[in-house]
């Protein structure tokens, strides 16, 4: 089982990651992880913090002489920007975790909620996902992502203008990203229990990305408006290909299992909740009307959300791969994998 745990605050000393279950003898370098972290920092509409943070991972355990050794992999991503950590605020921000978190944890300073609920934590997710991607590459499984639309506009040429207009108005924009996973063999996941269904686990992973409000697989919501004859993918067979589909409306997953076609996921990202022109709210202490607290933030973060989507999807696919083929050593997993491919 591949699992990960993150710790750290947005403006604290560092973000921490522990990845457990990665097999031994996988080649892994900090440069590969740093490349993914750099991708997460890109995108039109990012805020000023991306110019301050130079996300570079530090490997503390689980890797020796460039290869994993089977023990938990511990990573650290230092934060360069820590100046806000001690600054309290009580002007609750609509759309953020402030109100719910304060009520749940009985806090008097909304900073205690902001620091952990911040999307800054996704840098840790991307670092963990980079390890999963490296593992999947050994099995020729690849992940790609793209932005599908920004604020309803599908033409990429329109996006900078829309983002600039939102920035001038003190507003923010959301959109939709798509992740495609190729090379996944049929049979990852299972139909026998709810928590082993691959589609459910992928949907959960994408929904756990801050600001993602809905997830689609394949045709997604469109299936509710189409007859079955226009939804289900017909099955074919040839000696060269084996079993295959000419269409992929299912998005590569049927009955909770991969079916051999590319897995296609989409996530809808709401607009960033911190607005330069703040919304109306209530002060936590005085209970009086106030404007929401404002701290530096992005105008649009759909592009980095796509990179994060790749990362969390990679972790779920890698976990499903290890669940099926087992093994503590990369070579043993590869042997089992090749035997399975030969059978199907």
118 annotated to a ligand binding site: yes
What mean pLDDT do residues 136-143 have? 98
- Tens of pLDDT, residues 218-249: 999 999 999 999 999 999 999 988 999 999 99
What mean pLDDT do residues 182-194 have? 97
Look at 46-55, 70-79, 95-104, 291-300 and tell me which has the smallest mean pLDDT.
46-55
46 annotated to a ligand binding site: yes
- The yes-or-no verdict on residue 46 having pLDDT over 80 is no
Across the chain, mean pLDDT equals 95
255 annotated to a ligand binding site: yes
Q: Please give the pLDDT value at position 51.
A: 61
- The yes-or-no verdict on residue 161 having pLDDT over 70 is yes
Angle at 191 between CA 242 and CA 249, to 5 degrees: 55
327 band by pLDDT with thresholds 50, 70 and 90:
confident
- The yes-or-no verdict on residue 177 having pLDDT over 80 is yes
343 annotated to a ligand binding site: no
Handedness of CA 44, 46, 49, 50 (dihedral sign): negative
Both structure tokens of 137: 């590459």
246 annotated to a ligand binding site: no
270 annotated to a ligand binding site: yes
Domains and CATH numbers, the chain: 3-343 (3.60.150.10)
Strand partners, 282: 289
Q: Please give the pLDDT value at position 182.
A: 98
- The yes-or-no verdict on residue 74 having pLDDT over 70 is yes
Q: Are 344 and 186 in contact (CB under 8 A)?
A: yes
| Cα of 298 vs its chain's centroid, Å | 17
116 annotated to a ligand binding site: yes
């Amino acid at each position: 089982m591949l699992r990960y745990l993150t710790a750290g605050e947005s403006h604290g000393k560092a973000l921490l990651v522990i990845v457990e279950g990665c097999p031994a003898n996988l080649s892994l370098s900090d440069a590969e992880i740093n490349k993914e972290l750099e991708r997460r920092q890109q995108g039109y509409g990012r805020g000023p913090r991306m110019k301050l943070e130079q996300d570079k991972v530090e490997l503390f355990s689980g890797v020796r002489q460039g290869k994993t050794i089977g023990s938990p992999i511990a990573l650290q991503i230092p934060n360069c920007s820590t100046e806000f950590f001690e600054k309290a605020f009580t002007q609750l921000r609509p759309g953020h975790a402030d109100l719910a978190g304060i009520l749940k944890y009985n806090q008097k300073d909304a900073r205690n909620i902001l620091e952990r609920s911040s999307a800054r934590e996704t840098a840790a997710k991307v670092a963990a996902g980079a390890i999963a991607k490296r593992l999947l590459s050994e099995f020729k499984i690849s992940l790609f992502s793209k932005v599908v639309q920004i604020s309803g506009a599908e033409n990429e040429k329109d996006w900078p203008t829309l983002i600039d207009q939102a920035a001038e108005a003190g507003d923010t924009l959301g959109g939709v990203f798509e992740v495609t996973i190729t090379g996944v063999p049929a049979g990852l996941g299972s139909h026998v229990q709810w928590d082993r269904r691959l589609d459910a686990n992928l949907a959960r992973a994408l929904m756990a990305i801050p600001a993602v409000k809905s997830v689609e697989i394949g045709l997604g919501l469109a299936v509710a408006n189409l007859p079955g004859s226009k939804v289900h993918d017909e099955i074919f067979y040839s000696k060269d290909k084996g079993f295959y589909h000419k269409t992929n409306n299912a998005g590569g997953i049927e009955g909770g299992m991969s079916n051999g076609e590319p897995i296609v996921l989409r996530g809808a990202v709401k607009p960033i909740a911190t607005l330069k022109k703040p919304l109306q709210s209530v002060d936590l202490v005085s209970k009086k009307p106030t404007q929401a607290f404002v701290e530096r933030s992005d105008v649009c973060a759909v592009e980095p959300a796509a990179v994060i989507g790749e990362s969390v999807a990679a972790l779920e696919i890698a976990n499903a791969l290890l669940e099926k083929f087992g093994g503590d050593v990369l070579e043993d997993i590869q042997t089992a994998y090749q035997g399975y491919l030969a059978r199907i």
